[in-house]
Amino acid sequence: MGLFNTISEWNSARQEKHHSKMKEKGYCPQCNGRGFHTYAGHEYAFYSSTLDCPGCNGSGTYVSWDELQ
């Protein structure tokens, strides 16, 4: 069980580091300040669809993300 605890601790430390880095920049940690997420609608499509970030409601700011958390 030590391996699972080590992986869990590493993952939480990595997430905390990412959140603090995004807080310094003022960006949303989920979308990295873009305000949207992209995904390929189809393998052969030449475009990708976008969705507003649910974490910051499309603003891309850390303040908006923090209020919604």
pLDDT in tens, 10-64: 999 999 999 999 999 999 999 998 888 877 666 665 666 678 888 898 888 999 8
Residues 6+ positions from 56 with CB-CB distance below 8 Å: 28, 30, 31, 35, 62, 64, 65, 68
Q: How far apart are CA 62 and CA 54, in angstroms?
A: 13
Asked if residue 1 has pLDDT above 80, the reply is no
Q: Give the three-state DSSP class for 3.
A: helix
pLDDT of residue 21: 93
What is the DSSP secondary-structure string of 14-36? HHHHHHHHHHHHTB-TTTTTSSE
pLDDT of residue 58: 86
Q: How far apart are CA 55 and CA 21, in angstroms?
A: 16
pLDDT of residue 29: 92
